[in-house]
A = this chain, B = another copy of it.
């Protein structure tokens, strides 16, 4: 109706709004009302926020002046404050931005395809907070639904790739390939350092491999793979990678290649396509040791490049070395089957600088969606989809050949044809005029990839594009040897090359064969969901995870086809909406925090760390300081920090902490000076992982700079700082943001995430780039993930948050987060020891409760408290991190007084339960905590030889009898734990 000029509208704050809209967002996002905040402040003894903040944040840390002028969310805005959009205004704004993207059917392929996402999966999973608001399922007893779903996912991946183990997803195809390269290198007894990559690799994957290789000093050699080449490189090469089918669409039988490689003790990695694997011999069968790829075309929107689940499957050999989370079937204490995360000893949070992977946040939600896609279609349905694509590709090929076009991948193909043309540009222009984007391969060749979405009409249009005179029908009949058929599916059986045909069954388990009606699928999804505690049920006070509201108005744009259905390599003029949004987000993030440029390519915090350190190293190299290789990291740092440093080729030196939790400035100084010659970087988390705004931060960071190092700022705790302090001003050179923490992207049960980094101007030239699309720095480190802007399609969530909050709202959120944490800390302090607080007795946005003393007094550990909290229908705080046997609580600003009080009441009641053990009223080995959680099965048993009543076990506070979320299994048997477990569903016959 109205022509809404975006830039103008974004900046128009001059005109007085006499009837401002009432659907403002801030008060919906922030839990406590203004009045309740006054009460909270008063309980802490403050009259106003200012005096409270003075006690929490050191003066020299708060941003200079602390006024809006100092936080110009958008430069062009004369008033220096970004206007905050109401929810309905934002709806209009984002619709306008989306409409700047153009939906052109894109057949560019290269790992991204048009898909048909079953509507039941969109509504019941993708748009359902009970699926997207959870954290990683570390609390297994209240996460059996997602764990089962991830098990389904792992089974799907192992079945389709023909390998024996799959993890529960990695960030994308290219990083999965990177992980594979590093993993197989690590297994090479001969310590060889060359990795042979076939030239048919996707360019983005190659770019990521090259970047990754740098930190490990691997030589990535691109070759036209052959047995000869393998033999010629056997002295140096520890492994090979082939793309199967290749980037040009060709398919080869790699059996011979694989055995040649194995003969030289090389490992074989296949980057592959799950859909093709329903027709093709699996990598496992022809001898690959590892298979990686993306599940995008299993029901995930292209989303301008992501998020998508990267899959990773391998042989048993790598079981204890593979990266990523693994779900295993174990049992609970009652002996009932129960799922849990398995073999965590592989992961960065345990191995730290010895880890070769820093993966933490992965792509759980997307992996689950893909699993449901496979469940809905079943083995036969998937095969049909693949067969239809193959058949369509055949018809197109016949047509092209009849019109005299030469197909360059002439041996075998699945969905992609590379075609010789007179002028690629002319043809691409012609295709565009017909409504299609094709891929330019060279000046005289293009390629085209068929997918699930292709219709009869598309086929006819493509015939027009190539000016093929006869009709698709004619070729169909011809291909069917004259038989006139109504579908080309039958073609496949005869046409697909015998030696490449898949002969092995897959997805035989009942789970892939029962839920083929929408009703059954919906019920299965909802059944799984009913086992999982999410933000839709209760607060999830995970310290360092910032589990805040993921509002519907923030989530809505992600479902908009004009964001969802955009190929990452679509021409620039078709993606103006994304460009605007990403630029605007960059502007806001950098302005807010005092940096100069950003990259959105990293799709997790850990990936941001690795990227930031790589950028630092590239910068140092550019000024002739590539000898700098020491990274100082506080002992309190998150495991991803040392792991990332290791991946970036840095040597980690730990810095101590004082008894009061603060960084040991003396130790830092000593080490900075000691390593001064080689000091590359210091990684700091601020406020600290102990939840304190340390005084010394500015001093600390100048020590680093004085000793020639760069400062990497881990932004995981940014929620304490937005609008109040600026990392750039404190001295950071690089900083990552976990948009899935501070900026409202939901955690999805363990991903997706987005971990953009912001840098100071001297580092901007080195930011990640893409081999396909112009982006990033001029002296870029290369790519760090598959797509130019990482998990692009979820960036609108953070953008929505910032645009609807405005600067004032963002600051209000930080203030509320600080107040909520201190309110809870004060309520709990009489009952639990707080591990650290500052000199004013205040914490930042989170605090740590000590459980260590209970070991001696009651044989109780933090885990027991965590499990007992489940009986109170709560998710535990972060357990034993960063300090063993503690609980770290972070309420975030979104939690209401009501919920925080409920949670405190639960913890206080548990303290009383512990006291009963301490006082000998409950035995140490049979009490409310050690037996926790109490699932329904426990309750139902006839015998009840516990020193407490059933009622007390499950309804320890009255409200639970009305409003209870049940753990579905008893405590997982940790002893049984990692020894006996199953990583995929054992197939059993379908009736």
Contact = CB atoms under 8 A, between A and B. Distances in A.
B896 A520 contact: yes
Contacts of A538: 523
A520 B129 contact: no
A573 interface: no
Interface stretch (A273-281, A510-518, A665-673, A765-773): A510-518
B22 A520 contact: no
Nearest to A472: B18
Given A1-B435, A551-B119, A950-B940, A895 B454 contact: no
A196 to B, nearest CB: 39
A937 B486 CA distance: 60
A87 to B, nearest CB: 6
A946 to B, nearest CB: 11
A28 B517 contact: yes
A388 B896 CA distance: 27
A183 interface: no
B963 A527 contact: yes
Given A951-B940, A951-B941, A961-B937, A30 B517 contact: yes
A518 B552 contact: yes
A942 B950 CA distance: 7
Interface string A488-506: 1000000000000000000
B519 A526 contact: no
Contacts of A1: 103-105, 435
Contacts of A520: 31, 896, 898-899
A120 interface: yes
A391 B19 contact: yes
A982 to B, nearest CB: 18
Interface residues of A, number: 95
Given A22-B381, A392-B19, A526-B130, A518 B116 contact: no
A874 to B, nearest CB: 13
Nearest to A123: B552
Nearest to A436: B1
A940 B963 contact: no
Given A130-B526, A538-B523, A476 B514 contact: no
A237 interface: no
A355 B1 CA distance: 49
B19 A459 contact: yes
A936 to B, nearest CB: 7
A298 to B, nearest CB: 14
B31 A519 contact: yes
A99 interface: no
Contact of A18 (B16, B127, B473): B473
A19 B388 contact: yes
Contacts of A486: 16-18, 20
Nearest to A104: B1
Contacts of A384: 22
B2 A552 contact: no
A518 B29 contact: yes
Contacts of A20: 456, 486-487
Given A17-B486, A122-B552, A518-B549, A453 B88 contact: yes
A422 interface: no
Top-3 shortest CB links A-B: A119-B552, A1-B435, A526-B536
